[in-house]
Amino acid sequence: MEVVVLGSGSKGNSALVRAAGSALLVDAGLSARQLRRRLDAVGQDPARIEAVLLTHEHSDHIAGLRVFRRRFPLPVVANAPTLEATERIVGESLDGSVEQATGTCLEIGPFRVTSFPVPHDAAETVGYVIEAEGVRLGYATDLGHVTHLVHERLASCELVVIEANHDRQMLLDGPYPWATKQRVASRHGHLSNDHAASLLPDLARSSARAVVLAHLSETNNDPLLALAAVKGALHAEGLDAMRVELARQDAPAAGVAV
Ligand SMILES: [Zn+2]
Ligand SMILES: [Zn+2]
């Protein structure tokens, strides 16, 4: 199984998951044009994507959905509150969508997809565990803190995409208005580099062999700081064997396969 983060950050998020000749998208927050371009760049035929899973309805996760589906009418998979909120925002009904109650499992082609709740300020934000070919990918961006459930779900995965949104000091010192800083740093906002760094040694000791750090803020983070925090935490516990990659906003990240 391979994950290619097509783009990630506050300007748009989408990831491609491939296994057994099939594929899924997680979120469609890049423009439809960028989605097509980047899928092309990584050699993925959009017509062969089984579905798009939504984590939540914030615009950086759904911005390209409506236009992309005009050309490629793939089913949208999400829980009912997220589907409703998304339909309200895009201003039309998402025909052929599939409702997946949070916490349940859905078979889509070769994939077994299970969602889990994460703490974030949208209708009902989820992360996903996607299983295929005997391995699991855990996907969690847009969460204010790591709950026991999030920890437990990600600990079962060989491959992990986790948010490293901001450096706490850069957020404090940065240009955001105070209310926005509070929102980002809150327990329903976004994970800091330190949050990600304190989680990863545990994941490396359980199942994880590779991680992609995602949703890095261009304003309140520096990729080198995110990498240093996470690699430092792994190194301190002798877990350097874990592969750490960074997602990018402006281009697809390196594909990571397990
Ligand atoms: Zn987001
Ligand atoms: Zn969000």
Ligand nearest to the CA of 121: 2
Q: Which residues contact 30 (CB under 8 A, 6 or more apart)?
A: 6, 7, 12, 13, 14, 38, 63, 64
**Is residue 41 domain-resident?**
yes
Q: What is the model's pLDDT at position 23?
A: 98
Q: What is the model's pLDDT at position 203?
A: 98
Mean pLDDT of the chain: 97
Domains in the chain, number? 1
**Is residue 256 domain-resident?**
no
**CA 227 to CA 213: how far, in whole Å?**
8
- When pLDDT is cut at 50, 70 and 90, the band that residue 217 belongs to is very high
Q: What is the model's pLDDT at position 125?
A: 98
**Is residue 257 domain-resident?**
no
Q: Are 68 and 133 in contact (CB under 8 A)?
A: no
Cα dist from 128 to 37, 112, 165, 232, 240, whole Å:
25, 10, 18, 27, 26
Q: Are 163 and 214 in contact (CB under 8 A)?
A: yes
Q: Which residues contact 217 (CB under 8 A, 6 or more apart)?
A: 9, 10, 165, 166, 171, 184, 190
Question: Residue 243: how many CA atoms within 13 Å on its side-chain side?
Answer: 13
Distance (angstroms) between ligand 1 centre and the Cα of 142 equals 5
Q: Are 120 and 127 in contact (CB under 8 A)?
A: no
Q: Are 160 and 147 in contact (CB under 8 A)?
A: no
**Is residue 258 domain-resident?**
no
Using one digit for the tens of pLDDT, what is the confidence trace for 243-256? 999 999 999 999 99
**Is residue 228 domain-resident?**
yes
**Is residue 234 domain-resident?**
yes
- Structural domain boundaries, residue 208: 2-251
Distance (angstroms) between ligand 2 centre and the Cα of 68 equals 20
CATH number at residue 207: 3.60.15.10
Q: What is the model's pLDDT at position 74?
A: 95
Distance (angstroms) between ligand 2 centre and the Cα of 236 equals 31
**Is residue 247 domain-resident?**
yes
Q: What is the model's pLDDT at position 33?
A: 98
Using one digit for the tens of pLDDT, what is the confidence trace for 17-36? 999 999 999 999 999 999 99
Ligand nearest to the CA of 126: 2
The whole model's pTM is what? Answer: 0.97
Name residues with Cβ closer than 5 Å to ligand 2, which is an ion: 58, 142
- Taking residues 152-167, report their average pLDDT: 98
Distance (angstroms) between ligand 1 centre and the Cα of 248 equals 13
Distance (angstroms) between ligand 1 centre and the Cα of 132 equals 26
Q: What is the model's pLDDT at position 133?
A: 95
